[in-house]
Amino acid sequence: MPNTLEASIDIAAAPEKVWSVLADLRRMPEFSPTTVKMVAVGGIRDGAYTVNINKVGWKIYPTTSRIVRFEPNTAFAFRMNENRTTWTYELSPTATGTRLVETRTVDPKGLPAWLTKAIDVAMGGEQKFEADLVAGMQETLSKVKVAAER
């Protein structure tokens, strides 16, 4: 499994506008095909914990994460407690607006053994799982683009 998966998109809106859409975690289900709900306990800030409800197909499951990077108009990242992956959104100004990059980084220790087994058994194997993650990232970024350009 590669250490990092990445997707990016150019958005015809200023970083501040993109940030206002992206940093409103209540809207994450509107953008992410795998997020049903995401709630920052005590508010959205560096170090805050989130409680999440996720889905893959008919499978619905809870997760928790911690916000590990919160730089308004620049970057937002959260580390999943269950699988040690970090999801990062980075915003860079461009001549026509903003470039938004989403990455999923696996901890140097790798994924937990139980998750590797679950990927093989329930999610079609590593290659399909990763292709689905990248497709979901691209879908998320496309929906953020539509919302920010409105």
Per-residue pLDDT of 53-78, as tens digits, reads 999 888 899 999 999 999 999 999 99
Confidence at 2, pLDDT banded by 50, 70, 90: low
pLDDT: is 59 or 96 the higher one? Answer: 96
Q: What pLDDT was estimated at residue 54?
A: 94
Residues 118-145, mean pLDDT to the nearest whole number? 88
**CATH, range 4-149:** 3.30.530.20
Tell me how far apart the alpha carbons of residues 1 and 111 are, in angstroms, rounded to a whole number: 9
Q: Which residues sit opposite 40 in a β-bridge?
A: 50
Q: What is the pTM of this model?
A: 0.90
Q: What pLDDT was estimated at residue 46?
A: 94
Mean pLDDT of the chain: 92
Tell me how far apart the alpha carbons of residues 90 and 76 are, in angstroms, rounded to a whole number: 7
Structural domain boundaries in the chain: 4-149
- The closest alpha carbon to 76, from 123, 24, 9, belongs to 24
Confidence at 1, pLDDT banded by 50, 70, 90: low
pLDDT: is 59 or 147 the higher one? Answer: 147
